[in-house]
Structure 1
Amino acid sequence: MVELTIPTLLALAAADSVNPCELAVLILALVAILTQDPRNRKKVLLTGLSFTAAIFIMYLVYGLFLVEAFNTISSIGAIKIWIYRIIGALGIILGIANIKDYFIYGGLGFKTEVPGKWRPSMKNIISKIESPAGGFIAGLLVAFFLTPCTMGPYVICCGLLGNLGLLASVPWLLLYNFVFVLPMIAITLVIYLGFTTVESVSGWREKNLRLLHLISGIILIIVGTLLVFGII
């Protein structure tokens, strides 16, 4: 039986955490609050952290539902034999899609990011952030928009946690989601401390957009391949 290990979990969480979508929504949130009150660094800190906390909570909830779903599916003996290979194949497909965006960004008619039709609604929600409380509420809502481009590694992780049961999977999900939001926390802190600006972070993201897709894709293909062959 394939079991999730900490190195595998960290690899999946790392692939998720460097996803350009995640960084983009935080940048939009910080821009929104800075536009309204550019000198209030404390407000920027609290809003950024509350926005991040909301996404952490929502993804934890998503994870619990996914683990329970996989636990139910894996209880069927015939399916249990193949479930890890299917999860591994999913990882390989998602990895290839991310690497595609490194070589031909947006090619083949899709990008591994938030769907274009969803973006106006997401930006509208984020633009209304005026306080830490507003940042938290916006984070809860925006977490839904992030699912198409960030859930791939998470689904793989939750699939591997399915045989542990709901309660036993909680510490693993907490660790995964902490790693997932770590870049958001770091960006919020460095902007609050004045080490950089939102504009600089946004510019860095745009400059390295393709590279982030490449890193995420390589990690997913490696983990997926190891799962397909039962190595992890």
Structure 2
Amino acid sequence: MSKNAIFKITMLAGAVALAGCAESLEESAEPPVEPPVGDALVIIDDGVPTTNFGVIVGSNSDSYNRQGLAKGESYAKTSALEVSPSDNAGSYTWKVDTYSSGDDGSAEVYFIVGSDASQMDLTEYQNGVMLIDLSVLVAADSATTGHQLIMQTNTGTDDYLNRSAFYFNQTQLADLEADGWTTVAIKMSCFTPQNPTFDITKVNDLMRFDIRGNESVSYEIGKVAIEKEATSIPAEAVEWTCS
């Protein structure tokens, strides 16, 4: 066989091999298949937040620090807050302890599923219902009415002005004390924008659970989801209504 023939065969084999490699690379570069979109946005489940969002905790006594926590991490006890991993029949949950830190009623302790950078458009959920799996361990009854469940847009100079909030009271927590796990339902129509700058198409904090007024409260939080339809409330759920 001539040298030219050998060279041509070698080049042909190389071309075939390169074509195979290119095809393999193209196949591996294919994006993953997105899961089908359902009727519910799962904000957090088994301790894991939805993609691009995280668990954030803090308090005003810690200079409004927003401390991110990965699954399995804890937030060491301060004068206002302690957060630790918990368990509900094999499902990961978060245990949050808040502590009275003064007598002026100004304490604010929060558990957030959110992001300082990522945003989500909640337009298609604005007529739905938020469902929170909650276990209240300690919540002595009192007259405190200032607790808040918040969604927040971080697009303005003062983030706290860019909120849509639902207010609940200490009595509602006390009613659940020692009842074990309960699904709490709040219709999205009960959230009231605190300022026109709240933008439901650009929500950074999907769920912010604020305990206020120097109450000592211990609770565990499990799955949180928003159903698109306001009628999608489980029969066993406790609905927190608005006026």
Where on the TM-score scale, by shorter chain, does this alignment land: which range? under 0.3
TM-score (norm 1): 0.23
Greater fraction strand: 2
> Larger relative contact order (C-alpha < 8 A, sep ≥ 6)?
1
Quick check: which one's helix share is greater? Answer: 1
TM-score, structure 2 as length reference:
0.22
